[in-house]
Structure 1
Amino acid sequence: MAYRKIRYDPSRDFLRVRDFLASTTRRLGTLFTWDISRWNYARHFVVPYRGGREGIGTWEDRLGIWEADGAIAGVVNGEIPGPGIAFLQLDPRHEAILDDMLSHAEQRFAMNREGRPRVTIAVHDPFRDQFGDRLAARGFQPSAGEPEWMSERPICGLETVALPPRFNLRSMADNDNVEARRTVLGLAFGHADPAEWVTPETYRELQRAPDYRKDLDLYVVAPDGAFAACCIAWHDPANRVGTFEPVGTHPAYRRLGLGRAVIMEGINRLAALGATRAWVGSGQAFYGAIGFAKKYKEIIWEKRL
């Protein structure tokens, strides 16, 4: 089979990559690559939050795409604008391009640490199981640190959404209040300084993601009108799965069951769309307590150049 490496063109390739990720997951029945939520969230939130409009172009320039007979066979991408971790998205039927993908990662994502250049890649455990020997032969070694987890929960029917008195659950389709939405997001993730919060324009950029839906961008309203908890659910109809990213609760409203409530509402809305599973990119005990179980590991491998 003939392969070729092409330059990423966002107008042509963003949705092609999204569909490649979804179809690879569906065919394999396991999370061999990113899911579609992470692809949307990286480009439309993480990258502009970390690097502004200029950062989007930098991120796009680092991407590598490989095609086989005009169809995507593999992608190497980052999650932030600058160098750092390279994520390998490979359809294992096209393992012939793996060495070229690793070379791209070494050339485009290496950075100096502890006085010498290193390259770091991240793959899910099914990838490791199939290609770990080849990574080791290229000089990559797996990290001994705790992996990142993707946890899974079955969607079996309607869940109870329990809120304290005078708290209400709404979505951005009901009231598109970006100022209040960015406030709860910033505070939920430990940013007391408003200068560290996502800007209104960056939140609007997130809302421009192709798979973002305002009716799945949920929040809890406290009696004083403040947004007290929030989450976004991303629906992948090809795999009948919904992913929660991000999820957070305002520090002043924790231990009231609001995080659970907003997720249960998200699960009910995903169920109405036909989803049979929910994912969340975390292995925290909170998610275990509401029915999620650790499912997939993302493993870091590093090479000194």
Structure 2
Amino acid sequence: MSERIVRPYRGAEDLRKMQALVSAAYEQTDMRIGDVAWIVRVHTHRELGLDIRLWEDGGALVGWTFFQSSGGFNLFAAPRAATDHLIDEMLATVEGMAREAIAAGDAMSSVSTYGVLPRRSALDRALASGLERNGFTRDGGDGVLAKELTTLVEPSVPPGYLLATVDTPQRIIGRVEAHRAAFAPSEVTRKMYERVRRTWPYRQELDQIVETESGEVVAFCTAWIDEENAAGLLEPVGTHPNHQRRGLAGAACRAALIALRDAGARTAQVAFAAPRARALYESLGFTLAYDDHSYTKALS
């Protein structure tokens, strides 16, 4: 009988294993390999071995968790291994990490996760049941839109703006500054973004931006491709507040969708958390694929 172990994250090889687990369950989840790359490389200043745990059975990865100092967390289990016992153990680990963080002085009062839709798959039903069994409450959520990459419209920008990719040091700096402005307050730094660029499956040609004629980056759309599933992801998308409502993020998205198609993707998806974002993506031809749920547990 094989022995299941839990251990800390050890490095980039583990990240690829985490992504492979997600890719293999493509039809049962809306988490994508680009999501994993982005959250792991951007959402923490800490040593990842402190925040990520991997569960292995007989040497094979069967699940992982990523706890963030904000109290948010991601949890993923291989569909074949998503038993009540494993999910309970993973959730207990996350809660234990949260309570240790609180004891160390971190300010958090709850833990939460997202992207769960019971009607989508047996995996999500198992996750939802586990969350509810362990005291989590469903509290709404976001949504996921999808699009076939068959008929695409060429992007265009107003006079004074240019389309480009993040292909120079100056554009890397500009991309980071635009992100910080679009998602203020943001902790994203140049060092973080350069780490993203070194992380599989990042591709420079899928990192689309709009800049002014003077070279200021004002809108962006980073796309990711899962070659195994011929599927693309847009994450993140944003516009500098001083340049909104000019169609710039839409233009960056159109350029990214064409780049995804050229790279071999047949479909693309994007998540939204606000009506304005949903309207943008629907104007590009995306339609609703899923209404996801979030789950929260107060830590008393």
TM-score norm. by structure 2 comes to: 0.83
Q: Is 1:94 the equivalent of 2:77?
A: no
Determine helix, strand or coil for the equivalent of 1:162: coil
Give the drift of 1:262: 0.9
Q: Is 1:155 the equivalent of 2:149?
A: yes
TM-superposition CA deviations, 1:25-51 (whole Å, max 9, x none): 1xxx1326x31112111122221xxx3
Decide which of 199, 208, 225 is 1:218's aligned counterpart. Answer: 208
Q: Is 1:240 the equivalent of 2:230?
A: yes
Contact 1:105 1:121 in 2 (8 A): no
Contact 1:123 1:298 in 2 (8 A): yes
CA distance in 2, matches of 1:117, 1:158: 45
1:290-301 aligned within 5 A:
290-296=284-290, 297-301=292-296
Decide which of 138, 142, 145 is 1:142's aligned counterpart. Answer: 138
Letter in 2 for 1:16: K
CA distance in 1, matches of 2:136, 2:168: 49
Determine helix, strand or coil for the equivalent of 1:238: helix
Find runs of 4+ consecutive structure 1 residues off by over 6 angstroms.
Answer: none
Letter in 2 for 1:245: E
Residue matched to 2:29: 31
CA distance in 2, matches of 1:121, 1:216: 28
Letter in 2 for 1:30: Q
Decide which of 255, 271, 276 is 2:261's aligned counterpart. Answer: 271
Q: Is 1:68 the equivalent of 2:57?
A: yes
CA distance in 2, matches of 1:134, 1:186: 35
CA distance in 2, matches of 1:64, 1:172: 32
Determine helix, strand or coil for the equivalent of 2:213: coil
CA distance in 1, matches of 2:70, 2:155: 42
Contact 1:87 1:123 in 2 (8 A): no
TM-superposition CA deviations, 1:198-240 (whole Å, max 9, x none): 4332322222222221111111122333223111111111121
CA distance in 1, matches of 2:40, 2:261: 26
Structure 2 gap ranges (5+): none
CA distance in 1, matches of 2:250, 2:13: 39
Letter in 1 for 2:116: H
Q: 1:95 to 1:250 in 2, by over 3 A?
A: closer
Of the structure 1 ranges 64-73 and 269-278, higher mean CA displacement relative to structure 2 is found in 64-73
Q: 1:42 to 1:93 in 2, by over 3 A?
A: same
CA distance in 1, matches of 2:70, 2:224: 27
Residue matched to 1:288: 282
CA distance in 2, matches of 1:263, 1:210: 21
Q: Is 1:84 the equivalent of 2:79?
A: no
Residue matched to 1:258: 248
Of the structure 1 ranges 10-19 and 265-274, higher mean CA displacement relative to structure 2 is found in 10-19
CA distance in 2, matches of 1:72, 1:224: 48
> Alignment length, in residue pairs?
283
TM-superposition CA deviations, 1:35-73 (whole Å, max 9, x none): 1112111122221xxx3xxx1x1x422322112232211
Letter in 1 for 2:131: L
Q: 1:184 to 1:135 in 2, by over 3 A?
A: closer
Residue matched to 2:21: 20
Q: 1:133 to 1:188 in 2, by over 3 A?
A: closer
Decide which of 169, 173, 178 is 1:179's aligned counterpart. Answer: 173
Q: What's the RMSD between the two structures over aligned residues?
A: 2.6
Letter in 2 for 1:20: L
Determine helix, strand or coil for the equivalent of 1:177: helix
Letter in 1 for 2:231: V
Residue matched to 1:45: 42
Give the drift of 1:140: 2.7
Determine helix, strand or coil for the equivalent of 2:56: strand
CA distance in 2, matches of 1:231, 1:123: 21
Identity between Structure 1 and Structure 2 (%): 23
Q: 1:138 to 1:229 in 2, by over 3 A?
A: closer
Determine helix, strand or coil for the equivalent of 2:82: helix
Q: 1:167 to 1:18 in 2, by over 3 A?
A: same
Letter in 2 for 1:41: W
Q: 1:83 to 1:164 in 2, by over 3 A?
A: closer
Q: 1:184 to 1:134 in 2, by over 3 A?
A: closer
Q: 1:282 to 1:121 in 2, by over 3 A?
A: closer
